[in-house]
Structure 1
Amino acid sequence: MEGFQIIRWLSSDDTAAVYEAAGPRGRRLIYTVGHRPAEPAAEFSAWAERLRGVRHPHLAAVAAAGLTDDARPYVLCDTGSTTLAERLVHTPPGVNEVVRTTTAIADALDTAHAAGLRHGTVCPSTVVYAADGTPQLTGFDMCAPALVKTARPGLYTAPEADPGPPADVYALAATAYVALGGTLPYVGDPTDPALRLRGITELPGVPPELTGMLRTALNPDPVSRPSAALLRDALSTVEVPETVTTGALPVAVVGSDVRAVSSGMTTIIEAVTGEQPRIGREKSPPMPPGLAPTRPLPVAPPAPKPVRAKPVTSKPAKASGRRTGRRIGVAVVVLAVIAAGIGGVWLWRDQFAEATEGSSAIERVDFNAIEFTVPADNDRKVTLTGGSATSTNDDGRAESWTLTDGPVFADGNHNGDQDTAAIHLVLEVRGSKRSYVLLFTWDGRPKQAQQVVNGVCDVTDMRSAGPGIELDLVSANPFADCSALGKGDTRAETITVAMRGGFLMETAPHEGATSRCELAPGAETRAQDGDLPVRVAADAGAPELAEDIDSVTVFLPETAGQIQWHLARVTLADGTTTCGWVAAADL
């Protein structure tokens, strides 16, 4: 696969390590590779061939599966933008959607079982949603020869020891019942046979025939359960009012002791298992034949922070003197916040379309008609009409703006309401394009921030991440023309940005500035020791980096004598890097 990239290490267990990866055109992937050679290799190879041969719209596509050059088993498959587990914790689906998802996964299991495959770990953590909302089942590797992960008995494991097709049906029924807001009778002790014999109860707003179908599929006797096909057919006859919804669920109920199938699942799994991830088990993973990555894995991947089960529902500082936003081909991510907002024209969404009942104020704003301040040009504003606009820049060049994604909402104030929204705009000038992601928060009206995520050639995805926004970026030197760069001049990365202390900053994988700091080859730099004050923004009031700093490399542009702040690449004590700003007076 041309353009295959390892993004970051996610987790390890006794059998395998899991990495987030990316393919061509922003394809999001999960790469699972064993720690040891497969024995016998033929058994895993036969399993991999069956897995590669299965195609179904509700099965996550397998990009590759087989043995590495040193005979380790591996699976490379698609991943979604979120999982059912994350949705149940943050923004639970309605009952009707739960039924549709369960029906789709039952159909996928029927296809997999017919191909001789068993899953073994069906649960909310292995049901992913593609970017278009399509539910898909993933995680078959946890029951594969030479990659088996022994899961602890839990809410989504069948009482029998053999994880065959009947166990998959049981697990799917348990997943559906929990997603509908039900409490499984054996929640107190999944190993107690007596509790397994108790039947599930009816649920408010859930048709009794639906509960009866799930009750049959949860029979402790595997012989008495329906097949995946029969469950699918039965579910397809159920009708549920669209208005029936369920509430958010605690992490302890929806999480499972499984491998991460997406970057967002690591903290949920850690919260459930109570175990810290095994950091740095492998500095660089073995690669599948023909899939050499375009950049190496970071030497010491950071530990994910503990999950907090809360509902999810600019230009650079003038002191820098730089006009990076004026360079054609450089993408900039702009985020707007309450503390440093710029007012703009805005319209309620229900002036143009029907608003969602019970939605927050910012969810009702029509971002197809938003006015925004142009990044790096605070004196110029543009207003979208129907999601697009044309304007003229300071050089007299015609430019076009197009809303291509969003809004994506998040709970920026930790108050349980959606008060933050992000949109992705593409600017085109004379055939050259660059991306902007504007993030707005609500304070009686949407506001846009002054701080900028720059040094970005593309934004391939963005999604809610608690109070912040997680961004999948293609980064480069912040002063480079992206249209003139080759593959070796850019790198894919995922960061989370949020407000802290009135400043926009990167909060994951490390704390740091939102400006990217891939220093250009041959650029003038100055090495400094770790005692140099480094801040998250080009402002004397911005917080200093709290992590242990080993060394700092400061970027010195040609106009260094005219600016008050310098972008810096910071090497932390564990060998990883982040970005920051250094005052010229401190050099």
Structure 2
Amino acid sequence: MRALALVIVVMATGVLTACSGAAPGIGPPGATETEPIGQQTEPSASTAAEQPFNDAITSHDWNNTVFNKGKDSEIAFEDGRANEFNSYIYTELWDPVYADLDGDNDVDALTIVQQLTGGTSNPTSFYVWLWQDGAPMQLSQQIMVRAGCDVGGGPPRAVGGTIEIPIWTAKEISLCVDGRVFESVITIAVRDGFPVATAPAFGAAEACELGPGNTPVAMPETGVPLVARDLAAPPVGIWTDFSEAVGIDHDTDGWTLVRLTRHDDTVSCGWIPPPATS
């Protein structure tokens, strides 16, 4: 991730309801899933039913929280401020969004970290936190690390056991400046310990919008695209499920983010491991 001078952490949100002070979307699992998840493991309804409903995470002090940016790089916020290289500033622009993302009857959270560059490209990272062992635990996989239009579609919203994230997308940064963007919605949940998109189609929780320089990539005969940069992550599908794969981004470890078009023309995002490991 680029070294940047200023970071604002924005917390995603919902308006608190009058029912017992709970945030929107908080309630026992049972909402309809938006997409089948194929080979993935659904949360166990019987296991969840045996546990008391727990919304303790909604009382967590997000102003004094350590965020893991990946590769053991952390930003520790104290009283809403943190220092790394230069001054990084935290502000609660939106409240967290709460939902039981993994179906275990413990409410989980979504937060946002935005890096302000002073220009039009402000990289934004979404973080998922699960409630485990009496404390929030951040999943190491950031979702939708992106720049350009960023989160222009308004705050995320809880829908049952998922969270919908409205985003603005455009094919070129200049189009963001001119306002020539369109809104799309990505619905996220957690499966097998990894954040995933459940709609518009199952896959990695990424935006995967096309841009200048994106080119088709060969779909290998072996291996499968995964929902995260981790060989233990669930597969998005098998290669015969897709008619086209277009490379969107590459990381320094050799993983490739790809836009995968299914035969019914729906689009999923996925990560292809480095050749030596796939």
TM-score, normalised with respect to structure 1: 0.35
Q: Deviations over 1:55-82 (max 9, x none)?
A: xxxxxxxxxxxxxxxxxxxxxxxxxx79
Inter-partner Cα distance in structure 2 for 1:384 and 1:437 = 20
Asked if structure 2 preserves the Cα contact closer than 8 Å seen for 1:425 and 1:435, the reply is yes
Higher-RCO chain (CA-CA 8 Å, sequence separation at least 6): 2
CA contact (8 A) 2:224 2:237 kept: no
- Tell me the C-alpha RMSD between the 2 structures: 4.0
- Measured after TM superposition, the shift of residue 413 of structure 1 is 4.0
- 1:518 and 2:209 equivalent? yes
Q: How does 1:107-506 map to 2 (within 5 A)?
A: 360-373=55-68, 375-376=69-70, 378-385=72-79, 388-393=80-85, 397-418=86-107, 420-430=108-118, 433-443=122-132, 444-453=134-143, 454-455=145-146, 457-458=150-151, 460-475=154-169, 486-488=178-180, 490-506=181-197
Secondary structure, aligned partner of 2:155: strand
Alpha-carbon distance between aligned partners in 2 of 1:437 and 1:482, rounded to the nearest angstrom: 23
Kept in 2, the 8 Å contact 1:399–1:428? The answer is: no
Q: Is the 1:434–1:458 contact (alpha carbons within 8 Å) kept by the matching residues of 2?
A: no
Count of paired positions? 237
Whether the aligned pair in 1 keeps the contact of 2:229 and 2:255 (CA below 8 Å) is yes
CA–CA separation in structure 1 for the residues paired with 2:64 and 2:175 = 29
Per the TM alignment, residue 572 of structure 1 is displaced from its structure 2 partner at its CA by: 0.4
Unaligned runs of 5+ in 2: 1-13, 37-42, 46-52
Query: Could you report, residue by residue, the CA deviation over 1:180-216 in whole angstroms, capped at 9, with x for unpaired residues?
Result: xxxxxxxxxxxxxxxxxxxxxxxxxxxxxxxxxxxxx
- The verdict on how the C-alpha distance between 1:551 and 1:361 changes in structure 2, with shifts beyond 3 A counting, is same
Mapped to 2, the partners of 1:509 and 1:93 lie a distance apart of 31
Larger Rg belongs to:
1
Instruction: State how far apart, in whole Å, the 2-side matches of 1:442 and 1:491 are.
Output: 34
- State whether residues 566 and 581 of structure 1, in contact with CA within 8 Å, keep that contact through their aligned partners in structure 2: yes
Cα offsets for 1:146-191 (capped at 9, x unmatched): xxxxxxxxxxxxxxxxxxxxxxxxxxxxxxxxxxxxxxxxxxxxxx
State the Cα distance separating 1:366 from its structure 2 match: 1.7
2:19 equivalent in structure 1 = 93
Paired residue for 1:568, among 247, 251, 258?
258
The whole-number CA distance in structure 1 between the counterparts of 2:123 and 2:175 is 9
Give the % identical residues: 24
Structure 1, unaligned runs of 5 or more: 1-80, 95-130, 132-247, 252-263, 269-302, 311-357
- CA-to-aligned-CA distance 1:555-584 (integer Å, 9 cap, x gap): 476x8xx74321111010101211111123
Structure having the higher strand fraction is 2
Q: 1:493 to 1:414 in 2, by over 3 A?
A: same
In structure 2, the CA distance between the partners of 1:304 and 1:517, relative to structure 1 (3 Å rule), is: closer
Q: Over residues 209-267 of structure 1, what are the superposed CA-to-partner deviations in whole Å (9 max), with x where a residue is unaligned?
A: xxxxxxxxxxxxxxxxxxxxxxxxxxxxxxxxxxxxxxx8999xxxxxxxxxxxx9xx5
For residues 371 and 575 of structure 1, the distance between their equivalents in structure 2, rounded to whole angstroms, comes to 40
Q: Is the 8 A contact 1:501 1:543 kept in 2?
A: yes
**Partners of 2:188 and 2:205 within 8 A in 1:** yes
Contact 1:570 1:578 in 2 (8 A): yes
